[in-house]
């Protein structure tokens, strides 16, 4: 066991969920050639725990959803307001300057009989009112283009599509997973990493495996520990710290198979 430092593998460094998934991926690759049955079994268990964590982590939606919806809602409000204003302004023109001003007034009344008060409704109700207006536009788009301008109509259509998607009305929202739900899978994956590392260290101590074989299999863990120790900026990451669980994305690729 000359040169074998078991202390490099006695603890799993604190890192984010994405960091743990990345470590599991590296450990699977590093240990893929092992023929030691207990290690293969432990690695398969580690892969199962890590894959569960990866899948849940990918579904976690950071608490920015309301902000994003509000941004889309504001864009929709501006688009409706701009189109309504353009139609209203054209309808207010004197007949000597716009002989079709009365026709513009009819289009305005058809689309906005109650003005734009609907923009103060809750998101879903506002979208429904907007959808009804979009349906009333069918067949008169050319007139709307003429009175308001093609870019204003195009903006309404684009924002309305985005609004429906953001609200999960026209396109179902991705399944959301509470941030807290990955705490336990993260703990279990870290525990599986620790079990795998201790098993390999014990195999060296019992002379079931050569030290150099285990060093290669546990190299990702050793490298991560050294990296964490050498970081100038100290980070204290706790399992209960929600932001630390999702601060970075994990690879969308499934973890490699074992055996």
Q: How many CB atoms lie within 10 A of CB 189?
A: 26
Tell me whether residue 36 is in a domain: yes
Instruction: Calculate mean pLDDT across residues 17-40.
Output: 91
Instruction: Calculate mean pLDDT across residues 142-163.
Output: 95
First to last CA, the chain: 27
Q: Tell whether 78 and 135 lie within a shared domain.
A: yes
- pLDDT tens-digit profile of 54-94? 888 887 755 444 447 889 999 999 999 999 999 999 999 99
Tell me whether residue 258 is in a domain: no
Tell me whether residue 44 is in a domain: yes
HSE-up of residue 145 (Cα within 13 Å, Cβ side): 8
- What is the pLDDT, as a whole number, of residue 234? 52
Please give the residue range of the domain that contains residue 71: 65-166
- What is the pLDDT, as a whole number, of residue 182? 84
Q: Tell whether 122 and 88 lie within a shared domain.
A: yes
- What is the pLDDT, as a whole number, of residue 7? 82
Q: How many domains in the chain?
A: 2
Residue identified by tokens 């259509």 is 157
In the predicted structure, residue 253 carries a pLDDT above the cut 90: no
Q: Which residues contact 143 (CB under 8 A, 6 or more apart)?
A: 103, 104, 107
d(CA 25, CA 40): 15
Q: Tell whether 213 and 231 lie within a shared domain.
A: yes
d(CA 130, CA 192): 52
Q: Tell whether 193 and 241 lie within a shared domain.
A: yes
In the predicted structure, residue 248 carries a pLDDT above the cut 80: no
Weakest mean pLDDT among 154-158, 201-205, 250-254: 250-254
Tell me whether residue 172 is in a domain: no
Instruction: Calculate mean pLDDT across residues 202-217.
Output: 91
- What is the pLDDT, as a whole number, of residue 230? 72
Q: Tell whether 235 and 160 lie within a shared domain.
A: no
**Domain stop point among 132, 166, 200:** 166
Reported confidence tier of residue 11, pLDDT bands at 50, 70, 90:
confident
Tell me whether residue 257 is in a domain: no
């Amino acid at each position: 066991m000359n040169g074998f430092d078991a202390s490099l593998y006695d603890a799993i460094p604190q890192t984010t969920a994405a960091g743990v998934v990345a470590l599991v991926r590296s450990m699977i690759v590093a240990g893929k050639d092992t023929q030691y049955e207990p290690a293969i079994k432990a690695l398969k268990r580690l892969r199962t725990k890590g894959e569960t964590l990866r899948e849940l982590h990918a579904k976690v939606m950071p608490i920015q959803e309301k902000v994003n919806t509000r941004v889309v809602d504001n864009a929709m409000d501006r688009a409706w307001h701009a189109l309504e204003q353009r139609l209203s302004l054209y309808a207010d023109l004197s007949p000597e300057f716009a002989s079709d001003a009365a026709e513009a007034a009819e289009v305005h009344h058809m689309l906005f009989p109650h003005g734009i008060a609907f923009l103060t409704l809750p998101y879903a109700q506002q979208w429904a009112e907007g959808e009804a207006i979009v349906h009333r536009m069918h067949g008169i788009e050319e007139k709307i283009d003429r009175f308001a301008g093609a870019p204003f109509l195009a903006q309404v259509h684009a924002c309305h599509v985005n609004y429906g998607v953001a609200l999960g009305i026209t396109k179902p929202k991705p399944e959301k997973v509470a941030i807290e739900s990955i705490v336990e899978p993260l703990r279990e994956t870290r525990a599986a990493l620790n079990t795998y590392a201790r098993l390999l260290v014990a195999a060296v101590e019992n002379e079931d495996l050569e030290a150099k074989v285990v060093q290669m299999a546990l190299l990702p863990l050793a490298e991560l520990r050294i990296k964490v120790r050498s970081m100038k900026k100290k980070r204290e990451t706790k399992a209960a710290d929600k932001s630390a669980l999702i601060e970075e994305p994990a690879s969308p690729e499934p973890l490699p198979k074992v055996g």
